[in-house]
């Protein structure tokens, strides 16, 4: 049984990000050759404080802040597929998602300061990033999200398999874009097919 973890980084349930994630997860669930346990979480519904740079994670494994992030460390570790989505906010990811990303500093410290990793570095995991933008497409629209997400996936020792970037959703909502929904569905199927071979 493969474990799939998806995090919706938009605070708007049922809108563009949520719908794309849902279709990707349906592509995974419908893939008959492999069974998967699927968990979808909403960043905005979790209690996740901002990193305070207290440096506690450099002294003792884990984060001193006791909130929902502690269970996320375990979920990242156990997942075979990690799907992250975000609306583009001021050319970057949402603050709800960024809080999660920054709290992965505890994973970074466990590896590079304490030499006692919070995450199993040998395990194979596949990651995918979904991002929607309100503006019509233009060159480099999503570029600023790329180094952020590269580093995030690196922190959880997950292969960043690709990105689904969808512009112009304020004019053309995803919920009415059947072609894009099918693309997300197909991407989900492709992802689990690959995960099953690892």
Ligand X SMILES: Cc1cc2nc3c(=O)[nH]c(=O)nc-3n(C[C@H](O)[C@H](O)[C@H](O)COP(=O)(O)O)c2cc1C
Closest separation between CB of residue 94 and ligand X, Å? 8
- Asked if 127 and 159 touch (Cβ cutoff 8 Å), the reply is yes
x/- mask, ligand X, residues 8-37, rule CB under 6 A, reads: --x-x--xxx--------------------
Nearest residue to 50 via CA among 101, 108, 11: 101
State the binding string over 166-185 for ligand X (x if CB under 6 A, else -): ---xx---------------
Alpha helices of 35-177 — where are they, by DSSP H? 69-78, 95-103, 105-112, 145-155
**Count of residues in contact with ligand X, rule CB under 6 A:** 16
Of 7-15, 54-62, 117-125, 186-194, which part binds ligand X (CB under 6 A)?
Answer: 7-15
Q: Rank residues 102 and 193 by Cβ distance to ligand X and give the closer one.
A: 102
Considering the rule CB under 6 A, would residue 96 count as an interface residue with ligand X? no
Cα 87 to Cα 93: distance, rounded to the nearest angstrom:
6
Q: Which residue has the tokens 């269970």?
A: 71
The residues with which 4 forms a beta bridge, in sequence order, are 38, 81
Contact between 48 and 15 (Cβ < 8 Å): no
With contacts defined by CB under 6 A, name the span among 34-42, 51-59, 116-124, 126-134 that binds ligand X.
126-134
- In this complex, which beta carbon is closest to ligand X, that of residue 45 or of residue 59? 45
Residues 30, 55, 60, 134: which binds ligand X (CB under 6 A)?
Answer: 134
Q: Which residues, listed in sequence order, are joined to residue 163 by a DSSP beta bridge?
A: 129
Say how far apart CA 29 and CA 25 lie, in whole Å. 6
Q: How far is the CB of 160 from ligand X (least distance, A)?
A: 20
Q: Output 43 or 65, the one with its CB closest to ligand X.
A: 43
**Structure-derived torsion over alpha carbons of residues 38, 42, 47, 52, reported in degrees to the nearest 10:** 100
Site for ligand X contains 144 (CB under 6 A): no
**Footprint of ligand X (CB under 6 A):** 10, 12, 15-17, 87-91, 132-135, 169-170
């Amino acid at each position: 049984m493969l474990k799939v973890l998806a995090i919706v980084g938009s605070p708007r349930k049922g809108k563009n990000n949520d719908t794309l994630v849902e279709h990707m997860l349906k592509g995974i669930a419908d893939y008959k050759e492999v069974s998967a346990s699927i968990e979808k979480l909403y960043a905005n519904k979790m209690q996740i404080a901002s990193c305070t740079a207290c440096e506690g994670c450099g002294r003792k494994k884990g984060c001193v802040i006791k909130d929902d992030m502690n269970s996320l460390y375990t979920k990242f570790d156990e997942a075979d597929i990690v799907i992250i989505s975000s609306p583009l906010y001021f050319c970057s990811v949402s603050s709800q998602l960024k809080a999660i990303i920054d709290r992965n500093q505890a994973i970074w410290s466990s590896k590079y300061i304490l030499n006692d990793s919070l995450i199993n570095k040998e395990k194979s995991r596949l990651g995918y990033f979904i991002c929607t933008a309100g503006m019509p497409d233009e060159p480099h629209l999503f570029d600023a999200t790329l180094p952020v997400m590269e580093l995030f996936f690196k922190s959880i020792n997950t292969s960043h398999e690709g990105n689904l970037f969808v512009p112009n959703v304020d004019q053309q909502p995803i919920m009415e874009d059947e072609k894009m929904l099918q693309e997300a569905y197909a991407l989900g199927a492709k992802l689990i097919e690959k995960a099953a071979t690892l």
